[in-house]
Amino acid sequence: MYLMKRISFLAALLLLLTITACKKDKPDPDTTPAETLTGKDYFFKLKVGNYWVYKTENHDDPNVPPYTRYDTVRVVSDSVINGNHTYYITSACLGVRTGDYTDSAAVIIDSYDNPFKYLPHQGDTINIDDNTYVSTITYTGKRDTVLSTNAGSFHCFEDLIDGYYMNQPPPPPTTNPRTLYTYYGKNIGLVKYVYWYAFSPATFTSELYSYHIEP
Protein backbone atom coordinates (compact mmCIF):
# COMPACT_ATOMS: atom_id res chain seq x y z
CA MET A 1 0.00 0.00 0.00
CA TYR A 2 2.81 2.40 0.88
CA LEU A 3 4.51 1.65 -2.44
CA MET A 4 1.28 2.29 -4.38
CA LYS A 5 0.73 5.63 -2.63
CA ARG A 6 4.35 6.56 -3.28
CA ILE A 7 3.99 5.75 -6.97
CA SER A 8 0.72 7.72 -7.13
CA PHE A 9 2.36 10.70 -5.47
CA LEU A 10 5.30 10.63 -7.88
CA ALA A 11 2.91 10.35 -10.83
CA ALA A 12 0.89 13.35 -9.61
CA LEU A 13 4.09 15.30 -9.00
CA LEU A 14 5.34 14.50 -12.49
CA LEU A 15 2.04 15.70 -13.95
CA LEU A 16 2.29 18.92 -11.96
CA LEU A 17 5.85 19.53 -13.14
CA THR A 18 4.77 18.90 -16.72
CA ILE A 19 1.88 21.36 -16.40
CA THR A 20 4.15 23.97 -14.80
CA ALA A 21 6.82 23.56 -17.46
CA CYS A 22 4.25 24.04 -20.22
CA LYS A 23 2.90 27.20 -18.60
CA LYS A 24 6.35 28.71 -18.27
CA ASP A 25 6.61 28.79 -22.07
CA LYS A 26 3.99 31.56 -22.13
CA PRO A 27 4.36 34.77 -20.14
CA ASP A 28 1.53 35.29 -17.70
CA PRO A 29 -0.21 38.52 -18.68
CA ASP A 30 -2.09 38.64 -15.39
CA THR A 31 0.62 38.86 -12.74
CA THR A 32 -0.15 42.26 -11.22
CA PRO A 33 -3.55 42.36 -9.51
CA ALA A 34 -5.40 45.63 -9.91
CA GLU A 35 -6.36 45.43 -6.24
CA THR A 36 -5.48 43.31 -3.24
CA LEU A 37 -8.16 40.67 -2.75
CA THR A 38 -8.52 37.83 -0.26
CA GLY A 39 -10.70 34.78 0.19
CA LYS A 40 -13.12 36.84 2.29
CA ASP A 41 -13.90 39.02 -0.73
CA TYR A 42 -15.17 36.03 -2.70
CA PHE A 43 -16.62 33.71 -0.08
CA PHE A 44 -20.28 33.78 0.96
CA LYS A 45 -21.09 36.90 2.94
CA LEU A 46 -21.24 35.52 6.45
CA LYS A 47 -24.31 37.04 8.04
CA VAL A 48 -27.28 35.22 9.56
CA GLY A 49 -30.25 35.31 7.18
CA ASN A 50 -28.24 35.25 3.97
CA TYR A 51 -29.11 32.50 1.48
CA TRP A 52 -28.25 31.37 -2.06
CA VAL A 53 -30.38 29.14 -4.32
CA TYR A 54 -28.76 27.02 -7.03
CA LYS A 55 -30.25 25.38 -10.10
CA THR A 56 -28.55 22.02 -10.67
CA GLU A 57 -28.74 19.99 -13.90
CA ASN A 58 -27.07 16.77 -15.03
CA HIS A 59 -25.56 16.05 -18.44
CA ASP A 60 -23.73 13.37 -20.44
CA ASP A 61 -24.96 10.24 -18.67
CA PRO A 62 -26.78 7.84 -21.05
CA ASN A 63 -28.05 5.83 -18.07
CA VAL A 64 -29.69 8.70 -16.17
CA PRO A 65 -32.40 10.93 -17.71
CA PRO A 66 -31.68 14.68 -17.49
CA TYR A 67 -33.17 16.33 -14.43
CA THR A 68 -33.23 19.71 -12.69
CA ARG A 69 -33.26 20.39 -8.95
CA TYR A 70 -32.90 23.46 -6.74
CA ASP A 71 -30.45 23.50 -3.81
CA THR A 72 -30.11 26.12 -1.07
CA VAL A 73 -27.19 27.36 1.02
CA ARG A 74 -28.09 29.29 4.21
CA VAL A 75 -26.25 31.07 7.00
CA VAL A 76 -28.43 29.94 9.93
CA SER A 77 -26.55 30.95 13.09
CA ASP A 78 -23.37 32.48 14.49
CA SER A 79 -21.34 32.08 17.67
CA VAL A 80 -17.90 32.63 19.14
CA ILE A 81 -15.75 29.49 19.27
CA ASN A 82 -12.24 29.68 20.74
CA GLY A 83 -12.38 33.43 20.40
CA ASN A 84 -13.26 33.32 16.68
CA HIS A 85 -16.51 34.50 15.14
CA THR A 86 -18.00 31.36 13.59
CA TYR A 87 -21.02 30.91 11.33
CA TYR A 88 -23.02 27.74 10.72
CA ILE A 89 -23.98 27.10 7.09
CA THR A 90 -26.46 24.48 5.91
CA SER A 91 -26.08 23.35 2.32
CA ALA A 92 -27.79 21.06 -0.17
CA CYS A 93 -25.34 22.18 -2.89
CA LEU A 94 -22.42 19.80 -3.48
CA GLY A 95 -20.09 22.76 -3.97
CA VAL A 96 -20.46 23.75 -0.30
CA ARG A 97 -20.20 21.65 2.87
CA THR A 98 -22.63 22.00 5.75
CA GLY A 99 -20.75 23.06 8.88
CA ASP A 100 -18.98 25.83 10.78
CA TYR A 101 -17.07 28.54 8.94
CA THR A 102 -14.67 30.76 10.86
CA ASP A 103 -13.79 34.30 9.85
CA SER A 104 -10.02 34.30 10.36
CA ALA A 105 -8.04 37.31 9.11
CA ALA A 106 -7.90 37.19 5.29
CA VAL A 107 -9.30 33.67 4.89
CA ILE A 108 -12.38 31.64 5.78
CA ILE A 109 -11.71 28.28 7.45
CA ASP A 110 -14.30 25.51 7.47
CA SER A 111 -14.94 22.88 10.14
CA TYR A 112 -12.51 20.53 8.39
CA ASP A 113 -9.71 23.11 8.81
CA ASN A 114 -9.69 23.76 5.07
CA PRO A 115 -8.95 27.41 4.24
CA PHE A 116 -10.87 29.08 1.44
CA LYS A 117 -8.05 30.63 -0.61
CA TYR A 118 -7.83 33.26 -3.29
CA LEU A 119 -4.49 33.17 -5.11
CA PRO A 120 -3.95 36.19 -7.34
CA HIS A 121 -2.11 34.73 -10.33
CA GLN A 122 -3.50 32.50 -13.04
CA GLY A 123 -1.86 29.09 -12.76
CA ASP A 124 -1.04 29.35 -9.02
CA THR A 125 -1.17 25.88 -7.45
CA ILE A 126 -3.56 25.78 -4.49
CA ASN A 127 -3.40 22.12 -3.52
CA ILE A 128 -2.15 18.67 -4.58
CA ASP A 129 -4.15 15.69 -3.28
CA ASP A 130 -2.38 12.37 -3.67
CA ASN A 131 -5.06 9.70 -4.00
CA THR A 132 -4.49 6.15 -5.19
CA TYR A 133 -7.63 6.28 -7.36
CA VAL A 134 -7.95 9.89 -8.55
CA SER A 135 -5.15 12.36 -7.80
CA THR A 136 -6.06 16.03 -8.07
CA ILE A 137 -4.26 19.30 -8.69
CA THR A 138 -6.13 22.49 -7.74
CA TYR A 139 -5.03 25.77 -9.28
CA THR A 140 -6.22 29.28 -10.06
CA GLY A 141 -7.85 29.84 -13.44
CA LYS A 142 -9.07 33.15 -14.78
CA ARG A 143 -8.98 35.96 -12.22
CA ASP A 144 -11.80 38.00 -13.73
CA THR A 145 -14.38 36.35 -15.94
CA VAL A 146 -18.01 37.48 -16.32
CA LEU A 147 -20.72 34.87 -15.83
CA SER A 148 -24.43 35.42 -16.36
CA THR A 149 -27.05 33.31 -14.56
CA ASN A 150 -30.71 33.74 -13.65
CA ALA A 151 -29.51 35.77 -10.63
CA GLY A 152 -27.57 38.31 -12.72
CA SER A 153 -24.09 38.92 -14.16
CA PHE A 154 -21.05 38.56 -11.92
CA HIS A 155 -17.31 39.18 -12.12
CA CYS A 156 -15.80 35.90 -10.94
CA PHE A 157 -12.50 34.22 -10.30
CA GLU A 158 -12.10 30.63 -11.37
CA ASP A 159 -10.74 27.63 -9.46
CA LEU A 160 -9.85 24.54 -11.48
CA ILE A 161 -9.31 20.99 -10.23
CA ASP A 162 -7.72 18.51 -12.64
CA GLY A 163 -8.43 14.89 -11.69
CA TYR A 164 -6.10 12.14 -12.93
CA TYR A 165 -7.21 8.50 -12.76
CA MET A 166 -4.12 6.67 -11.55
CA ASN A 167 -4.83 2.94 -11.82
CA GLN A 168 -7.40 2.72 -14.59
CA PRO A 169 -8.82 4.95 -17.33
CA PRO A 170 -11.71 7.28 -16.50
CA PRO A 171 -15.23 6.19 -17.48
CA PRO A 172 -15.66 6.58 -21.26
CA PRO A 173 -15.99 8.81 -23.13
CA THR A 174 -14.14 11.02 -20.59
CA THR A 175 -10.32 11.26 -20.60
CA ASN A 176 -7.54 12.35 -18.24
CA PRO A 177 -7.62 14.88 -16.79
CA ARG A 178 -11.23 15.48 -15.86
CA THR A 179 -11.66 19.07 -14.72
CA LEU A 180 -13.97 20.56 -12.10
CA TYR A 181 -14.76 24.26 -12.52
CA THR A 182 -15.73 26.56 -9.64
CA TYR A 183 -16.55 30.27 -9.97
CA TYR A 184 -16.82 32.77 -7.11
CA GLY A 185 -18.25 36.27 -7.46
CA LYS A 186 -16.85 39.17 -5.46
CA ASN A 187 -19.09 39.95 -2.46
CA ILE A 188 -21.47 37.20 -3.61
CA GLY A 189 -19.92 33.76 -3.10
CA LEU A 190 -20.32 30.65 -5.24
CA VAL A 191 -21.81 31.49 -8.64
CA LYS A 192 -21.23 28.30 -10.64
CA TYR A 193 -19.93 24.79 -9.99
CA VAL A 194 -19.30 22.16 -12.70
CA TYR A 195 -18.46 18.76 -11.24
CA TRP A 196 -18.55 15.00 -11.78
CA TYR A 197 -18.45 11.71 -9.90
CA ALA A 198 -15.43 9.43 -10.26
CA PHE A 199 -17.39 6.35 -11.39
CA SER A 200 -19.73 8.08 -13.84
CA PRO A 201 -19.32 10.01 -17.11
CA ALA A 202 -22.07 12.40 -16.02
CA THR A 203 -21.39 16.10 -15.52
CA PHE A 204 -23.40 18.28 -13.14
CA THR A 205 -23.77 22.05 -13.31
CA SER A 206 -24.98 24.17 -10.40
CA GLU A 207 -25.64 27.86 -11.14
CA LEU A 208 -26.77 30.65 -8.84
CA TYR A 209 -30.51 31.06 -9.41
CA SER A 210 -31.37 33.64 -6.74
CA TYR A 211 -29.94 34.97 -3.48
CA HIS A 212 -30.54 37.26 -0.53
CA ILE A 213 -27.75 39.12 1.28
CA GLU A 214 -28.55 41.14 4.38
CA PRO A 215 -27.32 44.76 4.28
pLDDT at site 3: 29
Residues 138-187: pLDDT tens digits? 888 888 899 999 999 999 989 899 999 998 999 988 999 999 999 988 88
Residue 13 has pLDDT above 50, yes or no: no
Kindly state the DSSP code that residue 98 receives in the 8-state scheme.
S
- Nearest Cα residue to 118 out of 91, 156, 89: 156
Kindly state the DSSP code that residue 65 receives in the 8-state scheme.
-
pLDDT at site 20: 39
Residue 177: cis peptide before it, omega within 30 degrees of 0 = yes
pLDDT above 90: percentage of residues in the chain: 32
Phi, psi (deg, nearest 5) at residue 37: -120, 155
Q: What is the CATH number of the domain that holds 208?
A: 2.40.360
pLDDT at site 21: 39
Quick check: is 32 in a domain? no
- Nearest Cα residue to 182 out of 121, 114, 109, 96: 96
How far apart, in whole angstroms, are the C-alpha atoms of residue 59 and residue 182?
A: 17
Quick check: is 35 in a domain? no
How many domains in the chain?
1
Quick check: is 70 in a domain? yes
- Nearest Cα residue to 84 out of 51, 55, 57, 110: 110
**Dihedral (Cα; 100, 156, 12, 169), 10-degree rounding:** 100
**Residue 9's domain spans which residues?**
2-23+40-212
| Residues facing residue 137 across a β-bridge | 128, 162
Buried b / exposed e over 154-166, threshold 16 CB at 10 Å, is bbbbbbbbbbbbb
pTM (global) more than 0.85: no
Quick check: is 134 in a domain? yes
Beta-carbon contacts of residue 18 (< 8 Å; ≥ 6 apart): none
Residues 42-92: pLDDT tens digits? 788 888 999 999 999 988 777 778 889 999 999 999 998 887 888 899 998
Quick check: is 177 in a domain? yes
124: confidence class by pLDDT, cuts 50, 70, 90: confident
pLDDT at site 11: 39
Residues 103-119: pLDDT tens digits? 765 556 665 556 666 66
Quick check: is 28 in a domain? no
Quick check: is 29 in a domain? no
Residue 195 has pLDDT above 80, yes or no: yes
Task: Give residue 44's identity as a one-letter amino acid code.
Answer: F
Residue 10 has pLDDT above 50, yes or no: no
Q: Which of 34-38, 140-144, 184-188, 196-200 has the lowest mean pLDDT?
A: 34-38
Quick check: is 86 in a domain? yes
